[in-house]
Amino acid sequence: MTSPQQRLASTVSVAGIVIRYAFYLFGALAFGLVALGMLAIWNSRAKRVDAQPAFRMTAPELSRLPQRSQIVTGGRLGRVEIRQHGRIFHRDVDFTIALIMHPADSIALTSDGLPRLPNVKPLRSARTVASAVHYDLDTRLGDYRANELRVDADGQWKQCLAFVSRFDTDAVSIAGWYCDASGARPSADRLACLLDRMALEAPLHAKEADAFLRERLAQAPKCAAAPVAQTTDTRTRTRTSPQQWSVPSARRAY
Protein backbone atom coordinates (compact mmCIF):
# COMPACT_ATOMS: atom_id res chain seq x y z
CA MET A 1 0.00 0.00 0.00
CA THR A 2 1.31 3.42 -0.88
CA SER A 3 2.13 5.52 2.19
CA PRO A 4 1.11 9.21 2.52
CA GLN A 5 4.79 10.16 2.25
CA GLN A 6 5.13 8.27 -1.06
CA ARG A 7 1.98 9.90 -2.45
CA LEU A 8 3.28 13.31 -1.44
CA ALA A 9 6.62 12.63 -3.10
CA SER A 10 4.84 11.61 -6.30
CA THR A 11 2.68 14.73 -6.23
CA VAL A 12 5.60 17.09 -5.70
CA SER A 13 7.53 15.25 -8.40
CA VAL A 14 4.96 15.98 -11.11
CA ALA A 15 4.59 19.60 -9.98
CA GLY A 16 8.34 20.05 -10.04
CA ILE A 17 8.63 18.66 -13.55
CA VAL A 18 6.07 21.08 -14.93
CA ILE A 19 7.57 24.18 -13.31
CA ARG A 20 11.10 23.16 -14.20
CA TYR A 21 10.03 22.93 -17.84
CA ALA A 22 9.07 26.57 -17.78
CA PHE A 23 12.52 27.47 -16.46
CA TYR A 24 14.35 25.64 -19.25
CA LEU A 25 12.03 26.69 -22.06
CA PHE A 26 14.60 28.93 -23.76
CA GLY A 27 17.63 26.77 -23.06
CA ALA A 28 18.55 23.13 -22.71
CA LEU A 29 15.37 21.51 -21.38
CA ALA A 30 15.80 18.93 -18.62
CA PHE A 31 12.88 16.52 -18.82
CA GLY A 32 12.35 14.01 -16.02
CA LEU A 33 12.22 13.65 -12.28
CA VAL A 34 13.52 17.09 -11.42
CA ALA A 35 11.38 17.24 -8.30
CA LEU A 36 13.84 14.92 -6.58
CA GLY A 37 16.16 17.90 -6.40
CA MET A 38 13.40 20.16 -5.13
CA LEU A 39 12.18 17.72 -2.52
CA ALA A 40 14.70 18.87 0.06
CA ILE A 41 13.25 22.38 -0.17
CA TRP A 42 9.55 21.62 -0.51
CA ASN A 43 9.03 18.33 1.33
CA SER A 44 8.44 19.95 4.73
CA ARG A 45 6.12 22.61 3.30
CA ALA A 46 4.26 21.06 0.39
CA LYS A 47 1.11 19.08 0.89
CA ARG A 48 -1.32 17.27 -1.33
CA VAL A 49 -4.86 18.58 -1.47
CA ASP A 50 -7.62 15.98 -1.61
CA ALA A 51 -9.64 17.68 -4.33
CA GLN A 52 -10.04 17.86 -8.08
CA PRO A 53 -8.55 20.71 -10.13
CA ALA A 54 -10.97 23.54 -10.78
CA PHE A 55 -10.30 23.35 -14.51
CA ARG A 56 -10.59 20.69 -17.19
CA MET A 57 -9.60 20.34 -20.83
CA THR A 58 -12.53 19.86 -23.20
CA ALA A 59 -10.77 18.75 -26.41
CA PRO A 60 -12.46 15.48 -27.52
CA GLU A 61 -9.17 13.88 -28.62
CA LEU A 62 -7.93 13.92 -25.02
CA SER A 63 -10.86 11.93 -23.65
CA ARG A 64 -9.52 8.57 -24.92
CA LEU A 65 -6.23 8.93 -23.01
CA PRO A 66 -5.65 7.70 -19.44
CA GLN A 67 -6.05 10.63 -17.10
CA ARG A 68 -4.93 11.61 -13.66
CA SER A 69 -4.97 14.84 -11.71
CA GLN A 70 -3.59 16.22 -8.51
CA ILE A 71 -3.18 19.42 -6.54
CA VAL A 72 -0.19 20.38 -4.45
CA THR A 73 0.28 23.50 -2.33
CA GLY A 74 3.15 24.97 -0.39
CA GLY A 75 4.57 28.23 0.88
CA ARG A 76 7.17 28.56 -1.86
CA LEU A 77 5.26 26.52 -4.41
CA GLY A 78 1.95 28.32 -4.30
CA ARG A 79 -0.92 26.21 -5.58
CA VAL A 80 -0.42 23.95 -8.61
CA GLU A 81 -3.37 22.15 -10.18
CA ILE A 82 -2.27 19.46 -12.65
CA ARG A 83 -4.05 17.40 -15.25
CA GLN A 84 -2.21 14.74 -17.23
CA HIS A 85 -3.66 13.04 -20.31
CA GLY A 86 -1.54 10.08 -21.32
CA ARG A 87 1.93 9.18 -20.02
CA ILE A 88 5.30 10.45 -21.11
CA PHE A 89 6.82 6.94 -21.16
CA HIS A 90 3.99 5.46 -23.23
CA ARG A 91 4.02 5.40 -27.04
CA ASP A 92 0.83 7.41 -27.32
CA VAL A 93 0.18 11.13 -26.86
CA ASP A 94 1.03 12.81 -23.55
CA PHE A 95 -0.50 16.19 -22.72
CA THR A 96 0.34 17.49 -19.26
CA ILE A 97 -0.82 20.91 -18.12
CA ALA A 98 -0.39 22.74 -14.83
CA LEU A 99 -2.31 25.79 -13.70
CA ILE A 100 -0.05 27.64 -11.28
CA MET A 101 -1.32 30.23 -8.81
CA HIS A 102 1.74 31.87 -7.32
CA PRO A 103 2.13 33.23 -3.80
CA ALA A 104 2.50 36.99 -3.83
CA ASP A 105 6.11 36.97 -2.59
CA SER A 106 7.45 33.76 -4.09
CA ILE A 107 7.47 31.78 -7.35
CA ALA A 108 6.11 33.65 -10.34
CA LEU A 109 6.56 33.71 -14.07
CA THR A 110 7.83 36.95 -15.53
CA SER A 111 5.99 38.68 -18.34
CA ASP A 112 8.45 37.35 -20.93
CA GLY A 113 7.79 33.75 -19.94
CA LEU A 114 10.92 33.09 -17.90
CA PRO A 115 10.28 31.93 -14.34
CA ARG A 116 11.84 33.24 -11.17
CA LEU A 117 12.80 29.99 -9.47
CA PRO A 118 15.60 28.92 -7.15
CA ASN A 119 18.52 27.32 -8.96
CA VAL A 120 17.92 23.74 -7.85
CA LYS A 121 20.04 21.11 -9.57
CA PRO A 122 17.99 18.03 -10.47
CA LEU A 123 19.34 14.75 -9.17
CA ARG A 124 17.99 12.81 -12.10
CA SER A 125 16.55 13.59 -15.53
CA ALA A 126 15.62 11.82 -18.72
CA ARG A 127 17.71 12.21 -21.83
CA THR A 128 16.54 15.12 -23.96
CA VAL A 129 17.61 16.92 -27.10
CA ALA A 130 16.49 20.54 -27.24
CA SER A 131 15.77 22.39 -30.45
CA ALA A 132 16.22 26.01 -31.47
CA VAL A 133 12.70 25.99 -32.93
CA HIS A 134 10.23 28.14 -30.99
CA TYR A 135 6.60 29.02 -31.59
CA ASP A 136 4.30 31.81 -30.49
CA LEU A 137 0.86 30.47 -29.61
CA ASP A 138 -2.21 32.70 -29.62
CA THR A 139 -5.31 31.70 -27.64
CA ARG A 140 -8.22 33.51 -26.06
CA LEU A 141 -6.52 33.13 -22.69
CA GLY A 142 -3.42 34.92 -23.93
CA ASP A 143 -0.07 34.17 -25.49
CA TYR A 144 2.17 31.15 -24.96
CA ARG A 145 5.72 30.36 -26.04
CA ALA A 146 6.51 26.78 -27.06
CA ASN A 147 9.82 25.05 -27.76
CA GLU A 148 10.49 21.81 -29.68
CA LEU A 149 12.46 19.01 -28.02
CA ARG A 150 12.92 15.25 -28.18
CA VAL A 151 12.65 12.96 -25.17
CA ASP A 152 14.14 9.48 -24.79
CA ALA A 153 11.14 7.65 -23.35
CA ASP A 154 12.53 4.24 -22.40
CA GLY A 155 14.41 3.86 -25.67
CA GLN A 156 11.71 5.42 -27.84
CA TRP A 157 12.22 8.99 -28.99
CA LYS A 158 9.15 11.15 -28.51
CA GLN A 159 8.92 14.59 -30.06
CA CYS A 160 7.43 17.19 -27.76
CA LEU A 161 6.54 20.83 -27.36
CA ALA A 162 7.17 22.40 -23.96
CA PHE A 163 5.05 25.49 -23.35
CA VAL A 164 4.64 28.31 -20.87
CA SER A 165 2.11 31.13 -20.77
CA ARG A 166 2.95 34.78 -21.22
CA PHE A 167 -0.19 36.23 -19.66
CA ASP A 168 -0.59 39.86 -18.69
CA THR A 169 -0.88 38.97 -15.02
CA ASP A 170 1.29 37.57 -12.24
CA ALA A 171 -1.67 35.89 -10.54
CA VAL A 172 -1.70 32.77 -12.69
CA SER A 173 0.40 31.03 -15.29
CA ILE A 174 0.08 27.81 -17.26
CA ALA A 175 2.92 25.48 -18.23
CA GLY A 176 3.42 21.94 -19.39
CA TRP A 177 4.26 19.81 -22.40
CA TYR A 178 2.61 18.10 -25.33
CA CYS A 179 4.22 14.99 -26.83
CA ASP A 180 2.82 13.28 -29.88
CA ALA A 181 2.90 9.52 -30.39
CA SER A 182 6.40 8.07 -30.73
CA GLY A 183 8.02 9.20 -33.96
CA ALA A 184 5.38 11.80 -34.82
CA ARG A 185 6.05 15.52 -34.74
CA PRO A 186 3.60 17.51 -32.62
CA SER A 187 1.73 20.36 -34.26
CA ALA A 188 2.04 23.81 -32.71
CA ASP A 189 -1.35 24.75 -34.16
CA ARG A 190 -2.95 21.71 -32.54
CA LEU A 191 -1.30 22.56 -29.22
CA ALA A 192 -2.68 26.11 -29.39
CA CYS A 193 -6.17 24.73 -29.97
CA LEU A 194 -5.81 22.24 -27.10
CA LEU A 195 -4.80 25.06 -24.76
CA ASP A 196 -7.77 27.13 -25.89
CA ARG A 197 -10.14 24.30 -24.92
CA MET A 198 -10.12 24.94 -21.19
CA ALA A 199 -13.14 25.23 -18.92
CA LEU A 200 -13.51 26.16 -15.26
CA GLU A 201 -15.70 23.81 -13.24
CA ALA A 202 -15.32 25.61 -9.92
CA PRO A 203 -13.95 28.91 -8.60
CA LEU A 204 -10.17 29.04 -8.52
CA HIS A 205 -8.44 29.29 -5.17
CA ALA A 206 -7.08 32.76 -6.04
CA LYS A 207 -9.74 35.37 -6.81
CA GLU A 208 -7.52 37.41 -9.13
CA ALA A 209 -6.60 34.32 -11.14
CA ASP A 210 -10.25 33.27 -11.31
CA ALA A 211 -11.36 36.67 -12.59
CA PHE A 212 -8.57 36.78 -15.17
CA LEU A 213 -9.36 33.39 -16.68
CA ARG A 214 -13.15 33.74 -16.60
CA GLU A 215 -13.01 37.05 -18.44
CA ARG A 216 -11.00 35.48 -21.25
CA LEU A 217 -12.88 32.20 -21.39
CA ALA A 218 -16.03 34.21 -22.08
CA GLN A 219 -14.52 35.34 -25.39
CA ALA A 220 -14.86 33.49 -28.68
CA PRO A 221 -12.50 30.53 -29.21
CA LYS A 222 -9.22 31.46 -30.87
CA CYS A 223 -6.11 29.44 -31.60
CA ALA A 224 -3.15 29.94 -33.90
CA ALA A 225 0.58 29.32 -33.93
CA ALA A 226 3.52 30.83 -35.77
CA PRO A 227 7.25 30.03 -35.76
CA VAL A 228 9.43 32.57 -34.01
CA ALA A 229 11.62 34.19 -36.65
CA GLN A 230 14.80 36.07 -35.87
CA THR A 231 14.77 39.44 -37.61
CA THR A 232 18.02 40.72 -39.12
CA ASP A 233 19.08 43.95 -40.74
CA THR A 234 19.57 43.11 -44.42
CA ARG A 235 20.43 46.61 -45.58
CA THR A 236 23.71 47.01 -47.46
CA ARG A 237 26.27 48.97 -45.51
CA THR A 238 29.13 50.75 -47.27
CA ARG A 239 32.43 51.86 -45.83
CA THR A 240 32.78 55.58 -45.20
CA SER A 241 35.84 57.77 -45.09
CA PRO A 242 37.05 58.92 -41.64
CA GLN A 243 36.69 62.49 -42.89
CA GLN A 244 32.93 61.96 -43.00
CA TRP A 245 32.72 60.87 -39.39
CA SER A 246 31.21 63.37 -36.97
CA VAL A 247 33.50 65.05 -34.47
CA PRO A 248 32.45 64.99 -30.81
CA SER A 249 31.37 68.44 -29.69
CA ALA A 250 33.90 68.45 -26.83
CA ARG A 251 36.73 68.27 -29.35
CA ARG A 252 35.20 70.43 -32.04
CA ALA A 253 37.31 73.48 -33.01
CA TYR A 254 35.60 76.85 -33.23
Contact (Cβ atoms closer than 8 angstroms) between residue 180 and residue 231? no
Decide: helix, strand or coil at residue 176: strand
Each residue of 32-82: pLDDT tens digit?
A: 333 333 343 344 467 888 899 999 999 999 999 999 998 988 767 788 899
Overall average pLDDT of the 85-111 stretch:
76
Contact (Cβ atoms closer than 8 angstroms) between residue 168 and residue 224? no
Each residue of 185-209: pLDDT tens digit?
A: 899 999 999 999 999 999 999 999 9
Decide: residue 56, CB within 10 A, 0-12 exposed, 13-18 middle, 19+ buried.
middle
Q: Which pLDDT does position 5 carry in this prediction?
A: 58
Q: Which pLDDT does position 16 carry in this prediction?
A: 58
d(CA 164, CA 137): 10
Find, among 171, 173, 172, the residue nearest to 145 by Cα: 173
Q: Which of the listed ranges 43-57, 86-100, 165-179, 190-204 does the model predict with the highest average pLDDT?
A: 190-204
Q: How confident is the model at residue 184 (pLDDT cuts 50, 70, 90)?
A: confident
Please spell the DSSP secondary structure of 21-87, one letter per residue.
HHHTTTS----S-THHHHHHHHTTT-EEESS--SEEE--GGGTTS-EEEEEEEETTTEEEEEEEES-
What's this model's pTM, rounded to 2 decimal places?
0.70
Q: What is the mean pLDDT of the chain?
A: 74
Q: Which pLDDT does position 245 carry in this prediction?
A: 55
Q: Which of the listed ranges 33-37, 96-100, 130-134 does the model predict with the highest average pLDDT?
A: 96-100
d(CA 200, CA 125): 33
